[in-house]
Structure 1
Amino acid sequence: MEGERKSKGERGQGTGRWHTRGGRVVGGDRRIPSYGGDYRYAREDKGVEVQLLLFESFGGFARGVREILRKAADVLQNKLTRAQYLDEATWTTKSWLGLQRQRISVVLHTAIAEQAAPVVYLC
């Protein structure tokens, strides 16, 4: 009927909650179909587990990132190879974990600076 409000959760109303419909997470009642993605071959044919990793713009690592790095460091006994020690390590990175954290941080901050640069020029 005209003028009646749709009940909460009906299509088109938008509940503001997050749902998984068709494989991708979307807000409200919007649907985005899932697709193979960049890593479909690795996931389906090779059995590789693909994980979304989150980083904060000021350098913080999400728990999942910290766990993955810690497991890798444990496997490598948190030691640098001779080549890493001679070519990549600085006085602040004398362990494998420290070096990887620094490398990730540099890449993140460089990417953020490249994204922010056009905004600075427009002002």
Structure 2
Amino acid sequence: METSKLEYTEVQCTNRLSATEDALYVLGGRWTIRVMIAILGGHTRFNEIQRTIQSISAKMLAAELKKLEVNHLIERKVFAEQTPVLVAYIPTEYSQSLKDIITALAQWGTQHKIKITTMI
């Protein structure tokens, strides 16, 4: 039996697993990345985000927005001087670090879809 060359050392594997688990803790789940894409795309009001992400419930969106705020990826801004009061969810500077990840996921998703549909 032929053994293949290991891609990672044992320490690298352990470190990458740990780091990936941390990332998935924040970004995992059905809606989180979708919500970030909508916000990074300029949809900052609750109803705009909900319309952009079809089939997300208001309760789930509220929970996702809270999670993103706790993780410093968005900032909830209340503009009380407006009537009615305006609430916006603004991407933080830190959230810009997700752009390359989202782009890579989207590119891989497009390539994967092509591969799967052409194999049928």
* TM-score (norm. length: structure 2): 0.30
Instruction: Decide which structure has the larger Cα Rg and report it.
Output: 1
